[in-house]
Homo-oligomer: A and B are copies of this chain.
């Protein structure tokens, strides 16, 4: 049993919705290979930690962001994906509420939000990892309650709808969307509070409910 030497890393596709765009958190690489290029945040798995633990640790270290949802995405292990050595990376997908990227008091040199439409030419095979992460997020919004992972503690139905519209790049009927999400038991918990804004009727505020699944699903396309 000769076991070739592998390094194992975790990479993070951290998504949020801000300024009506789906954005991903990228860091500028300060070293070779791919120096100066953008990359997904990530790092080596430590000898004593689980993959999920490593992902959560990297997310905290490199970003300090409050996490709405974190799950394993997929693994990537092309023999030449890292020119230095054989590296297998276990990519994870994180969905977080819109929040300014912390003032890099951390590992990450110049971590920042970039619209996914403009995130091209990333280091390693991160273009593909990002594409897979975005597709996973889009698909999971259909049949799970994960849309709320993009929202803050208290939010309106319209804010949640904006999330879906931005992630899917498709307009949704506000009336039907409202009925759907408020009619799904356990999805949203009313706080009793309402917002005050300029113009328009105040909206009720909700919190995330206990429901994880969305049944029947909310489909993104029909035509």
- The residues of A with any CB-CB pair to B shorter than 8 Å are 1, 3-8, 44-51, 72, 74-79, 85-86, 88, 90, 216-217, 219
Whether A88 contacts B88 by the Cβ 8 Å rule is yes
Of A1, A77, A88, which is in contact with the most chain B CB atoms at under 10 Å from its CB?
A77
Q: Is the CB of A50 within 8 A of B72?
A: no
Q: When the two chains form their complex, are residues A3 and B74 in contact, meaning their CB atoms are under 8 A apart?
A: no
Q: Do A51 and B72 touch across chains, with their CB atoms under 8 A apart? A: no
Question: Are B75 and A90 touching (Cβ within 8 A)?
Answer: yes
Beta-carbon nearest neighbor of A84 in chain B = B1
A132 to chain B, nearest CB (A): 10
- State how many angstroms separate the Cβ of A74 from the closest Cβ of chain B: 6
Q: A75: which B residues are within 8 A, CB to CB?
A: 51, 72, 75, 90
- Set of chain B residues within 8 Å of A217, measured between Cβ atoms: 217
Contact between B4 and A6 (Cβ–Cβ < 8 Å)?
no
A190 to chain B, nearest CB (A): 27
